[in-house]
Amino acid sequence: MADICYEDETSACESRPLWSSRKWRIGVQRFRMSPSEMNPTASTTEEEDKSEGIYNKRNKQEEYDFMNCASSSPSQSSPEEESVSLEDSDVSISDGNSSVNDVAVIPSKKTVKETDLRPRYGVASVCGRRRDMEDAVALHPSFVRKQTEFSRTRWHYFGVYDGHGCSHVAARCKERLHELVQEEALSDKKEEWKKMMERSFTRMDKEVVRWGETVMSANCRCELQTPDCDAVGSTAVVSVITPEKIIVANCGDSRAVLCRNGKAVPLSTDHKPDRPDELDRIQEAGGRVIYWDGARVLGVLAMSRAIGDNYLKPYVTSEPEVTVTDRTEEDEFLILATDGLWDVVTNEAACTMVRMCLNRKSGRGRRRGETQTPGRRSEEEGKEEEEKVVGSRKNGKRGEITDKACTEASVLLTKLALAKHSSDNVSVVVIDLRRRRKRHVA
Amino acid sequence: MESSKQKRCRSSVVETIEAPLPLVWSILRSFDKPQAYQRFVKSCTMRSGGGGGKGGEGKGSVRDVTLVSGFPADFSTERLEELDDESHVMVVSIIGGNHRLVNYKSKTKVVASPEDMAKKTVVVESYVVDVPEGTSEEDTIFFVDNIIRYNLTSLAKLTKKMMK
């Protein structure tokens, strides 16, 4: 036992700063305690108190995650969305129990990697100056749970769909695309993200074509009476977030932008018909791009890729462009949004605005903030943290605070877009990516 | 004389539909319900019924058409210039809208197909329109022909479904 402990310490020292190592060691000890033993003793030092706070924070996040399974998150965009999430959450509850049991029976000598649970996120979606709302947003934290002998990880799904022609294709994507991605993810052993996403999008496209041919959705409010709705389609920008990677699959002119170390890093490229490679592809397929209020495929559609729009195939394809980005400590947040935002707000401006929102709300959590905090204030924060350990409601509130910051950031971006006279629906998702750390438990 | 400065262009689109003439004509002639077969029309409101004839079907009737999102226009205002149920001819002018189609006038004629007069119908839609500034004549014709072809293809599918 002594040797094993020594190895752990050595490994920690090699890979982490000394201070971080101390936190890590204390965290390990805490993990093995039962909940009743978690109350800090009066003799703890200020430093130890901070370490406990960090562990308690993670524990509260875990409780919040389960609480989120039982009740709707305030950040949900609509009752319908809440309903959908609840269904998925029911599945998650079962998986969660299984995971807990597995952890309990794992021998203490083995190293178990456990990652943070769901990231904070917020969403805002407004009709804006258009007559109808044809955007849709899908939020599915922990939609895939992977369990191996040595680790358990959760993947999180976020999708933004901007419909055109009518709303039912985007609505269908919201209901189904994450399920298709989930199926592909669970059946794929090699985690070949490009192929997984391409198959998911192709299946989604075929579903909306087939579905449109048989019956029109009862929720579809348009007055279209045509026998087929093949002039209806949607963009789809999807992000799957794993402990190690950010995967983005994009089809159309919505966009995903990562904020890394204060800088905007686009993770998708808009599919505009006059993008040189898209123009070549369309022309080689026998199509044509005409400038009629912007570049349009056959003069009609202002994007070169979309789910649906069967009448414009093969010129308008549903094949997504996929990017896989390794996560780093510098990653701050991810923004998914429709062109209602990006047509009037630059990537850099959006990142700057979101950054201000998130930093304002969670400044205390930053290291620099900690080091600059006066002793008295630090004591007060310690007390607050102790109090918040007590009840799940307070944990929920704590979680809400961070989600609230993401939601406020999303709302602020939509307001900015409207102020800049965006003429479209605007939908924005902000996902907080900070403090993604692995913990080793032995 | 002013109009002669603006370049004009003209074209025709022909579509053979596997349906009897009376059925095809009954859909085409419904000036107040273009969304029945026109692919990019979301809804239609009659502005005035014109003089004489049934409501919304008289010469001079004007309709306000709302177009679907994603299309390079939001609305179109159109007037029925002629409607002849004996020669199966319909003439429509576009008098407003944000589609860049100015001085547009189209004539749609429906005849029974010589191949099979009882079961096939030939629809001919001819039009003239100004070439918008900054757009070539070729692109203008391509664009308008495309829209008309989509509409007539949709009409063919609709009549096929109605005959089942």
**Looking at residue B82, what is its pLDDT?**
87
Q: Which residues of B are annotated as a binding site for abscisate?
A: 73-78, 100-106, 125
- Please give the share of chain A, as a percent, with pLDDT higher than 90: 41
Given an 8 Å threshold on Cβ–Cβ distance, is B142 in contact with A223?
no
Tens of pLDDT, residues B128-154: 999 998 999 989 999 999 899 889 999
pLDDT tier, A141 (very low <50, low <70, confident <90, very high otherwise): very high
Q: Judge whether A427 and A160 are in contact, CB under 8 Å.
A: yes
Greatest extent of chain B over all pairs of C-alpha atoms, in Å: 53
Q: Please tell me which residue, B42 or A84, carries the higher pLDDT value.
A: B42
Tens of pLDDT, residues A320-359: 999 999 999 889 999 999 999 999 999 999 999 898 898 8
Rounded mean pLDDT, A208-212: 68
Q: CATH classification of A120-271+306-358+399-432, choosing from 3.40.50.11740, 3.50.50.60, 3.60.40.10, 1.20.1070.10?
A: 3.60.40.10
**Looking at residue A356, what is its pLDDT?**
86
* Average pLDDT in chain A: 68
Residue ranges of domains in chain B, CATH in brackets: 6-161 (3.30.530.20)
**Looking at residue B137, what is its pLDDT?**
93
Q: What angle do CA A369, A374, A375 make, to 5 degrees?
A: 120
Tens of pLDDT, residues B65-100: 999 999 999 899 998 998 999 899 999 999 999 998
Say which of A166, A226, A296 has its CB closest to residue B154. A226
CA torsion sign for A95, A100, A101, A102 is: positive
Neighbours of A369 (CB within 10 A): 12
Q: Does A327 touch chain B (CB under 8 A)?
A: no
- Report residue B73: phi and psi, to 5°: -175, 155
**Looking at residue A360, what is its pLDDT?**
63
**Looking at residue A17, what is its pLDDT?**
35
Q: Is residue A178 over pLDDT 90?
A: yes
* Average pLDDT in chain B: 88
Say which of A165, A293, A299 has its CB closest to residue B68. A165
The domain spans of chain A are 120-271+306-358+399-432
**Looking at residue A114, what is its pLDDT?**
43
Q: Single out the residue of A411, A412, A410 nearest to residue A429, CA to CA.
A: A410
CB contacts of A224 in chain B (<8 Å) are: 35, 42, 68
Secondary structure in 3-state letters for A288-313? CEEECCCEEECCCECCCECEECHHHC
Q: Please tell me which residue, A290 or A91, carries the higher pLDDT value.
A: A290
**Looking at residue A82, what is its pLDDT?**
30
- Please give the share of chain A, as a percent, with pLDDT higher than 70: 56
Tens of pLDDT, residues A52-82: 233 233 333 333 332 332 333 333 333 333 3
